[in-house]
Structure formats: C-alpha cells, structure tokens
Amino acid sequence: MEVLYVLWLRQIKKYWRSRARMIGSLGQPLLFLIAFGFGFGSIYQKAEGGNFIQFLAPGIIAMSILFTAMFTGIELIWDRQFGFLKETLVAPVSRPKIMLGRTLGGATVSVFQGVVVLLVSLLVGFKIGNPALLPLAILFMFLIALLFTAFGTAIASRMEDMQAFPLVMNFIIMPIFFFSGALFPLEGLSGPIEAVTNFNPLTYGVDGLRGALGGAYHLGLFADLAVLALTTIFLFGLGSYLFSTIEI
Amino acid sequence: MKKSIIKVEGLTKNFNSFTAVDGISFEVDEGEIFAFLGPNGAGKTTTIKMLTTLLNPTKGKMLLNGLDPALEKDRARKSFGIVFQDPSLDDELTAYENMEFHGAIYRVPKQVREERISYLLKLVGLIERKNDFVKTFSGGMKRRLEIARGLIHHPKILFLDEPTLGLDPQTRNSIWDYIRKLNKEEGMTVFFTTHYMEEAEKVADTVAIIDRGKILKSGTAGELKSLTKTASLEDAFLKLTGYSIREENSKAIDNLRMARRMWRR
C-alpha cells in the first residue's frame, strides 16, 4: 500500500509544484468556453438547442481532463530520458503496480484540473442541474482521467523520446477531442462521423458527464459507465503489459 | 569453498549488428568485492543492465542469488540494489524526498528509513541541503545523493556503476569506508565498475578486465600484475587493453532538457 501511495504522491507533488503549468493549462479551456460558448451561442439558440454554454461546459471539462491525463501518462518519457524510470524499474515492485500508482496519481491530478474547469465554467454562466448528482459527475471525471492516463502511459511505453509527440497530439488527442460530442450534439450526425464518435471512448465520458451535470444522456447512463469502465480496464491491462516489457 | 552469488555463462547482448557483450562468463563469491575494469564502451554497463533486469540478454545464462534475472525478474529484484552510472534522480523532488521515495519502494521500515536517511545524508555532506530541490544541485552533489540513496536498503548484492566518478578523494574515501563496513558486517556482495585503478586495487578482492565485450583476464590485483609483469594495475590494464582511445556515442539529453523546460511552461 505504501508503495502505491508514494508513487501516487510523487505525481501530485510534481503537479502541485508547477503552478505555471496549472495556470497555463486553464488557458485553453477558458478560451474554448468563451470563444465557442459566446461565438456559437446565438446560432445554437436559433436552432432551438437552448443555452450553448450549458451544452458546451461538460465537453470542455472532459477536454481538459483528456489533455491533462494524456500528458501525465506521456510524461513517462521524461522519466525515461532523465533516468528516474530506471530507479523505479529495478525496485522490488511489480511493473503493473508501478503503472497503477502512476496512473492513479495522474488521474487524481486530471480530476482536480477538471474540477477547476467546472468552477471556471460556473463563472461564465454554467449551471449545475442537480447538485446531488455531483458525485456521479466526479465519478465520470475519474473514469475519463484513468482511461486516458493509462492510454498515455501505454503510448509512452513504446516511445523512446519526444520526437513522436506532435504525432500523438495531432493524430490521437485532437481527433479524440473533436469527435467526442464535446463541441457538437450527437443527434443527426452523418454516418461516418457517427461511426467514429461511437468508437471513441471520450464520447461516453462527455455524454455521462453532461448527463450528470444536468443535461440529457444521449447514450444512457449505464452504457456510458460500462463502456468507460471496460475500456479503462482494457487500456490499463495493455499499458501494464507494454510497461512491463520496457527495456532500458 | 566459497559459494558464488553471481554466476554468468556465455552472456551475450547484441544491439542490431553491434555486439556489446560477447559471451562473457564469470562468478562472484558471496561477500566479495568484485571490480569490473574496462575502457569506455567495453560492455560494463550493458552487463550490469542485464544482471539488474533492465535488459534481456540475447544469449547466455545468468544466476543472481539463485534466480535468473531474465526470467524471474520480480524475485531477482529483491536481491540487489544499484547505483547507476547515468543520473536517475527526480530533479523536481527534494533530496530528502528522493531518499524517502527509494526507502518506501524498497519497503524499508519507516523508523529504520529515517535513521538511515539522515545518517547517509550526513555521510555524503548533504544534510543541510536535504530540503532543496535536486535541480539546484551540482553534478557532484547529485552523484553523492545517488550513492547515498542506493545505500538506504541493505541489499544482498550491491551494483555500483562508476560510483565515484567526479567525486573528490575525501568523499570517495568516506563512501568506500561505509560500503566496506556494510560488506564486512552484513556480508553484502559488491559489484562495481570504475575507471580509478587505485580504487580497484584498494577495495576489490577480484578484478576482471573487460574490453570490446570480452573478459580479458580476472584475478586479484596482485595476480593481474604478476601475470602481465607490470608494476601497477594501471600498467597491467593498459597492457591488456591497448592504448587506443575509445569513442562513445553522445546522447541527445541536453536537447531534451531544453525541450522539457519549454514544454512545461
């Protein structure tokens, strides 16, 4: 237990100490909320969608969790390059356990980031539907965070350095964000786009978060929970396997 | 008859077409201090990486405390500790936090851990800087901290890869005194690599000279000197390995350091 705790604590400390990074990573969600929220607000209203901020905020919260989680997962590469990874890899701790400690730490940080964005969105006019459902919203945040931290770690286990990072950013993280229903409703999408969104795990995260925060579930609470949980378990297993085979 | 705690037979590691370690065999007795001497790129670090489960060998057999590090990784890891040649500290944690992290993942009981950490930080002269971030440390301070960290848990086998490189003689002496004390009192086996000949001569029971992935000779320092008919271990080393200067590939770590700083902003 203590081993998991120190692995977790390390991630928290590193995050907490880089204030610049914390503040910096609030910039993007805030920009998206204001620019899209107010920019498309009137069109959305005319199309009888209702208040766009109300629709958009859960998507932006999910986005900030996605980014933070993927980054903390991919941070494994820094540990590899700067040698600290060796220190953990020779320790008498099984690799899946190291992966679990790291992932829990990264996920905690990401949920914290998500909560901060939620608070910011309240300032721009977002309203929580039913405060009693907040724990459910936090659960969704945590599932999204775990899933993508594990995914980031899995990717990082196969990367030697940061050269491939723009590739991951543009071909994995951005598409996951754009095709998740974070920015637009899932109703009435054309076939191929709908297929892509259905295949995207973040879609279920955004949907669940939107439902828990007061909007409507498009896919259903249980479908959202089940898909997220199963994908998380799968990616965690895959990540552990890839992590276990790292050679330095 | 002494019991061997490390046994290596025909160990080979290829990286694509390059053979870093070429069928080496050796044994280290329990409680012995064993030195690996060799020029840059001789295969010392690669051998240590295979013994410490970080690399899988291409061929050959290894036994470490009766376990195969290539197959029984988790169990083998319980038998050893290692001080790496390359940096392996977390720059964004303090000196104390780095020590504490190590003690915890090696499951050293809390009280023992705290005692050893303050003792070791005093030993390497870093006790006053214990709450400073490692990123503010000089190269020598980092090196001292890494050695101190490697000694928190008392493993059966301690690997030291060029442990004292860049340290002043005072620090080197106090560190070696402490390691020898552990070796005597707890029967800890020590396997180290070094460039300092007098260090190998002074502390090692057995010296193995390795070059281009092969072990050329091994024995006590005295045996190696009489074998090569030379007056010092350094002369014996040069006679065996030749005088040419070895190339080592540089790493892109400096570029990365800069990239990280930018990315973090």
pLDDT tens for residues B142-159?
Answer: 999 999 999 999 999 999
**Which sign does the torsion angle of CA B78, B80, B85, B88 carry?**
positive
Mean pLDDT of A80-102: 93
- Which residue in the set A2, A13, A90 is minimally distant from B77, CB to CB? A90
CB within 8 Å: A82 and B91: yes
In a domain, B138, yes or no: no
Report the candidate in A104, A28, A88 with the shortest Cα–Cα distance to residue A60: A28
Mean pLDDT of A34-42: 89
**Residue of B88, B110, B160, B254 for testing the chain A interface, max A β-carbons within 10 Å:** B88
CB within 8 Å: A14 and B92: yes
So what's the pLDDT on residue B259? 53
**C-alpha neighbours within 13 Å on the C-beta side of residue B19:** 12
In a domain, B225, yes or no: yes
In a domain, B90, yes or no: no
So what's the pLDDT on residue A230? 97
Confidence of residue A45 (pLDDT cuts 50, 70, 90): confident
CB within 8 Å: A81 and B256: yes
So what's the pLDDT on residue A11? 94
**Separation in Å, CA B250 to CA A246, B34, B253, B254:** 22, 28, 9, 10
Tell me how far apart the alpha carbons of residues B65 and A221 are, in angstroms, rounded to a whole number. Answer: 53
So what's the pLDDT on residue B66? 93
User: How close B248 comes to chain A (CA, Å)?
Assistant: 17
Parent domain of B54? 4-79+155-264
| pLDDT tens sequence across A171-229 | 999 999 999 999 988 888 888 999 999 999 999 999 999 999 988 888 999 999 999 99
What's the ipTM?
Answer: 0.89
If you measure CA to CA, which chain B residue comes closest to A97? Answer: B105
**C-alpha neighbours within 13 Å on the C-beta side of residue A182:** 25
Number of domains in chain B: 1
Q: CATH number, domain at B8?
A: 3.40.50.300
- Which residue in the set A20, A79, A81 is minimally distant from B253, CB to CB? A81
Predicted TM-score (pTM) of this structure: 0.89
Tell me how far apart the alpha carbons of residues A183 and A60 are, in angstroms, rounded to a whole number. Answer: 8
Which amino acid belongs to residue B255? N
Tell me how far apart the alpha carbons of residues A139 and A133 are, in angstroms, rounded to a whole number. Answer: 10
Name the one residue in this structure whose structure tokens are 């494994």: A76
Mean pLDDT of chain A: 92
In a domain, B13, yes or no: yes
Residues 6+ apart with CB under 8 A from B127: B118, B121
So what's the pLDDT on residue B248? 58
The pairing of beta strand B80-83 with beta strand B157-161: parallel
Percent of chain A at pLDDT exceeding 70: 100
CB within 8 Å: A248 and B54: yes
So what's the pLDDT on residue A145? 97
CB within 8 Å: B77 and A248: no
Instruction: Find the DSSP H helices in chain B.
Output: 44-51, 73-77, 95-105, 110-123, 139-150, 169-186, 197-203, 221-228, 233-241, 253-264
Tell me how far apart the alpha carbons of residues A176 and B242 are, in angstroms, rounded to a whole number. Answer: 58
Q: Is the pLDDT of residue A41 over 90?
A: no
Chain A CB contacts of B259 under 8 Å are 162
CB within 8 Å: B101 and A6: yes
In a domain, B101, yes or no: no
Q: How many CB pairs under 8 A join A and B?
A: 87
If you measure CA to CA, which chain B residue comes closest to A19? Answer: B265
In a domain, B143, yes or no: no
C-alpha R_g of chain A? 18
**Separation in Å, CA B179 to CA B63, B72, B254:** 23, 27, 32
Q: Which residues of chain B have pLDDT under 50?
A: 250-254, 264-265
Chain B CB contacts of A79 under 8 Å are 90
Contact A74, A165 (CB under 8 A): yes
- Which residue in the set B77, B88, B257 is minimally distant from A92, CB to CB? B77
- Which residue in the set A18, A81, A84 is minimally distant from B90, CB to CB? A84
- Which residue in the set A6, A81, A162 is minimally distant from B105, CB to CB? A6
In a domain, B65, yes or no: yes
So what's the pLDDT on residue A229? 97
In a domain, B68, yes or no: yes
So what's the pLDDT on residue A160? 81
**Which sign does the torsion angle of CA A174, A175, A179, A180 carry?**
negative
Residues 6+ apart with CB under 8 A from B254: none
The pairing of beta strand B4-15 with beta strand B80-83: unpaired
Tell me how far apart the alpha carbons of residues A225 and B200 are, in angstroms, rounded to a whole number. Answer: 61
DSSP-derived 3-state class of residue B157: strand
Contact A9, A105 (CB under 8 A): yes
DSSP-derived 3-state class of residue B21: strand
Name the one residue in this structure whose structure tokens are 């990573």: A25
Q: Which range, of A129-133, A153-157, B195-199, averages the lowest pLDDT? A: B195-199
